[in-house]
């Protein structure tokens, strides 16, 4: 074995045959298959309502719009995330305000959220980092006592649960946004899903398709535009992939969990490696394996380690470096510099994501472990 990719999607015969059925059907865009996919997601997650969209980014954008968030409002979020989270806040004209994170879960810290609340705060936008649910009880308590909303960026967290309640399910009063990008817990190629109350989902449905209504379902040429909408709809081609993925979602989840736990087992007691340790009361989606390097125990930087690992044939990724506030555009736009989020910045400098995908072979897995330990030995103090 010479190399292991960072990720391989689990696409099988069922996805291929379902997509070819759609291609032969004559109906390619949003249609009855998308409705079936939404109904199956609703059932799987125990959601009040849900709508499939072109991406999670679109879902975050429309969730904020549907809540009436805009100019003059503040949205508290994490900087240890994909820029998409923060872009959605800027799309509606609101100001992102960053709270620092918990170094163990790498999720937003409720106590720091509390310290960032102002009269302008309208939404808390937590990200379930790596599929590990945030401290939802504490965030819900803060939101309800201040009369503000929660929009969860659950891009990583399809299938995860918090204290026995499914993320996206009826147990929460928030709006939840999932991503179906290729390496996510389940994929539709590209795509996203928003879960929430029926009223908000209806509003998002309207906004997601040009803001038009069809008074007579059979006469689609007789439509009225009642809002400024967007073109963010899902398609039946995506739904075909999604339905096949949903039917094996639990199996994919269990396989990811197995690799995640095996990494943790094999890296135990290695002082150069800080393992991700899920809290006992959550069930993570095990979306990725976000290892951290203990840079005090190594004579190299995380970037040197990552480059050497790639040279050894191991595909790696980093979640996320730099954190959003230190990207060139956001530094200028938001004026938040180095030192403002000490834990986020420290974690961002030391995180290294290893390959993890359901159909990893034993040989691939042990190849990665072997190369990581080889580099630790090369650089340990």
Tell me which residues are annotated as active site: 184
Expressed in angstroms, the distance from the first to the final Cα of the chain is: 29
Closer residue to ligand PLP in complex, CB, 57/285: 57
Whats the size of the chain, residue-wise? Answer: 381
The answer to whether residues 299 and 308 touch, using CB atoms and an 8 Å cutoff, is no
85, 208, 284, 321: residue in contact with ligand PLP (rule CB under 6 A): 85
> Which residues touch 177 (CB under 8 Å, ≥6 apart)?
56, 59, 60, 63, 151, 152, 153, 154, 155, 192, 193, 194, 195
Return the SS3 of 358. coil
User: What residues pair up with 97 in beta bridges, in sequence order?
Assistant: 76
**Residue number, 180 or 367, with CB nearest to ligand PLP:** 180
Q: How far is CA 162 from the centre of its chain?
A: 15
Strands 192-196 and 175-179: antiparallel
Tokens of 138: 């504490």
Binding segment for ligand PLP (CB under 6 A), chosen from 11-19, 78-86, 137-145, 331-339, is: 78-86
**Which residue among 44, 172, 181, 289 contacts ligand PLP (CB under 6 A)?**
181
- Give the nearer residue to ligand PLP in terms of CB position, either 125 or 306: 125
- The reply on whether position 344 binds ligand PLP by CB under 6 A is no
Touching ligand PLP, residues 225-264 (CB under 6 A): none
Only one of the segments 80-88, 216-224, 327-335, 339-347 lies at the binding site for ligand PLP (rule: CB under 6 A); that segment is 80-88
Half-sphere exposure of 229 (CA within 13 A, CB side): 19
Using rule CB under 6 A, residue 84 touches ligand PLP:
yes
Residue 61 is a binding residue for ligand PLP (CB under 6 A):
no
Select 77 or 350, whichever has its Cβ closest to ligand PLP: 77
- Nearest-approach distance from CB 153 to ligand PLP, in angstroms: 5
- The C-alpha atoms of residue 14 and residue 139 are separated, in whole angstroms, by 40
Under rule CB under 6 A, which residues in 118-157 are in contact with ligand PLP?
A: 127, 153, 155-156
Candidates 50-58, 160-168, 228-236, 293-301; binding stretch for ligand PLP (CB under 6 A): 50-58
- Indicate the residue among 128 and 371 with the shorter CB distance to ligand PLP: 128
CB of 257 to ligand PLP, least distance (A): 19
Site for ligand PLP in 90-119 (CB under 6 A): none
Is residue 34 close enough to count as binding ligand PLP by CB under 6 A? no
Give the angle subtended at the CA of 303 by the CAs of 179 and 155, to the nearest 5°: 10
Contacting ligand PLP within 259-318 (CB under 6 A): none
Sequence-distant (≥ 6) Cβ neighbours of residue 118 within 8 angstroms = 74, 97
Q: Using CB under 6 A, which of the segments 52-60, 221-229, 249-257, 344-352 binds ligand PLP?
A: 52-60
E strands along the chain, which residues? 49-53, 74-77, 95-98, 121-125, 149-153, 161-162, 165-166, 175-179, 192-196, 212-213, 224-225, 273-274, 282-283, 289-293, 351-354
Contact call for residue 55 and ligand PLP (CB under 6 A): yes
Output 245 or 367, the one with its CB closest to ligand PLP: 245
Residues in contact with ligand PLP, total (CB under 6 A)? 14
- Single residue of 192, 242, 276, 278 touching ligand PLP by CB under 6 A: 192
Contact 98, 127 (CB under 8 A): no
CA distance 257 to 271: 23
**Residue selected from 34, 57, 161, 348 as contacting ligand PLP according to rule CB under 6 A:** 57
- Footprint of ligand PLP (CB under 6 A): 55-57, 81-82, 84-85, 127, 153, 155-156, 179, 181, 192
């Amino acid at each position: 074995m010479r190399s292991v990719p960072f990720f391989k999607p689990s696409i099988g015969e069922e996805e291929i045959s379902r997509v070819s059925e759609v291609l032969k059907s004559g109906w390619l865009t949003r249609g009855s298959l998308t409705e079936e996919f939404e109904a199956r997601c609703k059932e799987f997650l125990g959601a009040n309502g849900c709508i499939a969209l072109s991406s999670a980014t679109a879902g975050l954008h429309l969730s904020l719009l549907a809540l009436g968030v805009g100019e003059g409002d503040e949205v508290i979020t994490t900087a240890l995330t994909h820029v998409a989270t923060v872009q959605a806040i800027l799309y509606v004209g609101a100001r992102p305000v960053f709270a620092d994170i918990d170094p163990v879960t790498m999720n937003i810290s409720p106590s720091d959220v509390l310290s960032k609340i102002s009269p302008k705060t309208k939404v808390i936008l937590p990200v379930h980092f790596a599929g590990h649910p945030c401290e939802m009880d504490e965030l819900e308590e803060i939101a309800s006592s201040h009369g503000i909303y929660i929009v969860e960026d659950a891009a990583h967290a399809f299938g995860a649960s918090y204290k026995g309640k499914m993320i996206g399910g009826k147990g929460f009063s928030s709006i939840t946004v999932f991503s179906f990008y290729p390496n996510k817990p389940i994929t539709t190629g590209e795509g996203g899903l928003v879960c929430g109350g029926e009223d908000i989902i209806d509003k998002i449905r309207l906004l997601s398709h040009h803001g038009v209504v069809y008074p007579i379902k059979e006469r689609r040429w007789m439509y009225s535009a009642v809002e400024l909408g967007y073109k963010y709809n899902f398609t039946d081609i995506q739904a075909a992939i999604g339905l096949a993925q949903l039917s094996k979602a639990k199996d994919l989840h269990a396989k990811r969990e197995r690799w995640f736990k095996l990494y943790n087992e094999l890296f135990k007691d290695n002082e150069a490696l800080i393992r991700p340790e899920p809290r006992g009361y959550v069930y993570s989606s095990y979306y990725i394996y976000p290892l951290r390097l203990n840079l005090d125990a190594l004579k190299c930087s995380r970037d040197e380690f990552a480059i050497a690992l790639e040279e050894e044939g191991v595909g790696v990724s980093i979640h996320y470096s730099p954190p959003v506030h230190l990207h060139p555009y956001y530094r200028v736009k938001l004026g938040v510099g180095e030192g403002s989020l000490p834990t986020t910045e420290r974690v961002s400098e030391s995180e290294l994501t290893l390959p993890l995908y359901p159909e990893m072979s034993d040989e691939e897995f042990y190849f990665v472990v072997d190369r990581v330990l080889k580099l630790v030995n090369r650089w340990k103090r």
